[in-house]
């Protein structure tokens, strides 16, 4: 085990973000064990942690150090009827979900095929097909860069919300997640309430899916709706679905009955940003090589040689168009570095 992370100077990091805009970093450090954390003494604000780069878009060169998290490991611990699964932050999320399904540990089926690393999953409380990470989250371990020590966060300390957490909003950049523990069940209770999932299962004639059937259906839906970043660079949903008060949502839906909307546990209403963008005719439109994916208006893609300027123009044009039509400012979901 190396005591210090390997460091590469003036590194090309374009391929470390799934949107693949050209970028270099002054330094790229590859972290492959928790024991290397104390060696991370870079100046605050000048260091960026990266996992799979599927929620990070480089808009230019990064003047500081990028820390690539490649800490690996997986452990299972019996806990009554449940099993606590601890995965190191550099593990691939999709592979973790598959490993759990193979061991008949349930609760992650709806979150299969989300790209990226385990360590990034709590950052925006990843969610899909009617489920969020927070529902199976138990705790995480992290390196506290301010206090230079390991800390543990239990679920109530994480302030999970819709695509949000303490780590993303309250103290961004302070904690480097080193592992995440999930509470999974040996009993499979399918979560099939999400409309498009329920519809796909109905069409396949599956009334009560097995764990593998549920995961396979989610993968089929994802393949249909989302471009594979290895073929068409993208960062998944590019804008967050806006959350509004019920009264505001009612007024908007009365004016625009085609809008998609979902009630949230906190009484707010989530409105479908993709449908807004689609209604305004953006599907398939482009500025240079930055384009709106024709199959899914919420996804922006890099058709090959997109530049940061083209992407920024497209973002701004979509935001302005949605604001003019619906009075809501869409916020990008991925982290834009260098804006
Ligand atoms: C095709 C596609 C589909 C997607 N579908 C979904 C979806 O269904 N649901 C969903 O929620 N998201 C989705 N995403 C977004 C993305 O996959 C998730 O946000 C994922 O968790 C990002 O993981 P990553 O390792 O690639 O993160 P990165 O882009 O590497 O990092 C994201 C953020 O987390 C921080 N970070 C990363 N690792 C750590 C760490 N160990 N400690 C501290 N901070 C860290 C980074 O600094 C950055 O701010 C999709 C993306 C793509 C490209």
Domains of the chain: 6-69 (3.30.43.10), 74-185 (3.30.465.10), 234-337 (3.90.78.10)
**Residue nearest (by alpha carbon) to ligand 1 atom 49:** 335
**Residue nearest (by alpha carbon) to ligand 1 atom 11:** 126
Ligand 1 pocket residue status of 120, Cβ below 6 Å: yes
DSSP H helical segments within the chain, as ranges?
93-102, 195-203, 211-225, 246-255, 273-279, 308-326
Ramachandran area for residue 239 (φ above 0: left; ψ -120 to 50: alpha; else beta): beta
- Which atom, in ligand 1's list, is nearest to the CA of 55? 29
Instruction: Give the list of residues 6+ apart from residue 316 with CB closer than 8 angstroms, or none.
Output: none
- Which atom, in ligand 1's list, is nearest to the CA of 115? 17
Give the model's pLDDT for residue 156: 97
Ligand 1 pocket residue status of 117, Cβ below 6 Å: yes
Give the model's pLDDT for residue 18: 98
Ligand 1 pocket residue status of 176, Cβ below 6 Å: yes
339 residues of the chain, pLDDT tens digit each: 677 889 999 999 999 999 999 999 999 999 999 999 988 865 556 899 999 999 999 999 999 999 999 999 999 999 998 999 999 999 999 999 999 999 999 999 999 999 999 999 999 999 999 999 999 999 999 999 999 999 999 999 999 998 999 999 999 999 999 999 999 999 999 999 999 999 999 999 999 999 999 999 999 999 999 999 999 999 999 999 999 999 999 999 999 999 999 998 888 999 999 999 999 999 999 999 999 999 999 999 999 999 999 999 999 999 999 999 999 999 999 999 986
User: What is the 243 CA–ligand 1 centroid distance (Å)?
Assistant: 21
Helices (H) and strands (E) in the chain, counts: 6, 20
Ligand 1 pocket residue status of 332, Cβ below 6 Å: no
- Which atom, in ligand 1's list, is nearest to the CA of 126? 11
Give the model's pLDDT for residue 45: 60
Q: What is the 3-state secondary structure (H, E, C) of 119-155?
A: CCCCCCCCEECCEEHHHCEEEEEEEECCCCEEEEEEH
Ligand 1 pocket residue status of 16, Cβ below 6 Å: no
**Residue nearest (by alpha carbon) to ligand 1 atom 6:** 114
């Amino acid at each position: 085990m190396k005591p210090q992370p390997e460091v590469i100077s003036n590194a090309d990091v374009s391929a470390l973000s799934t949107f693949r805009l050209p970028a270099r970093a002054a330094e790229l450090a590859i972290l492959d064990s928790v024991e290397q954390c104390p060696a991370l003494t870079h100046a605050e604000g000048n260091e960026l942690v990266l996992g799979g780069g599927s929620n990070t878009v480089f808009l230019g060169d990064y003047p500081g150090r990028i820390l690539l998290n490649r800490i690996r490991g997986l452990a299972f611990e019996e806990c009554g009827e449940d099993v606590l699964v601890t995965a190191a932050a550099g593990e691939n999320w999709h592979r973790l979900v598959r490993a759990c399904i193979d061991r008949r540990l349930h609760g992650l089926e709806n979150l299969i095929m989300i790209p990226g690393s385990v360590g990034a999953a709590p950052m925006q409380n990843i969610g899909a097909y009617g489920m969020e990470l927070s529902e199976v989250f138990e705790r995480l371990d992290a390196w506290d860069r301010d206090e230079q020590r390991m800390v543990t966060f239990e679920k109530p300390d994480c302030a999970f919300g819709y695509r949000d957490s303490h780590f993303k909003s309250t103290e961004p950049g302070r904690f480097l997640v080193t592992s995440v523990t999930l509470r999974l069940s040996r009993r499979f209770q399918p979560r099939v309430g999400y409309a498009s999932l329920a519809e796909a299962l109905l069409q396949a004639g599956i009334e009560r899916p097995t764990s593998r059937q549920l995961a396979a259906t989610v993968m089929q839906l994802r393949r249909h709706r989302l471009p594979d970043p290895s073929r068409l660079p993208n960062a998944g949903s590019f804008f967050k679905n806006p959350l509004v008060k019920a009264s505001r949502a009612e007024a908007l839906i009365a004016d625009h009955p085609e809008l998609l909307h979902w009630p949230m546990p906190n009484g707010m209403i989530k409105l479908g940003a993709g449908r807004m963008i689609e209604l305004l005719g953006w599907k398939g439109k482009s500025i240079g090589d930055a384009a709106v994916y024709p199959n899914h208006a919420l996804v922006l893609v890099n058709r090959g040689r997109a530049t940061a300027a083209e992407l920024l123009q497209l973002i701004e044009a979509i935001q302005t168009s949605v604001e003019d039509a619906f009075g809501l400012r869409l916020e990008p979901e991925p982290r834009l570095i260098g804006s």
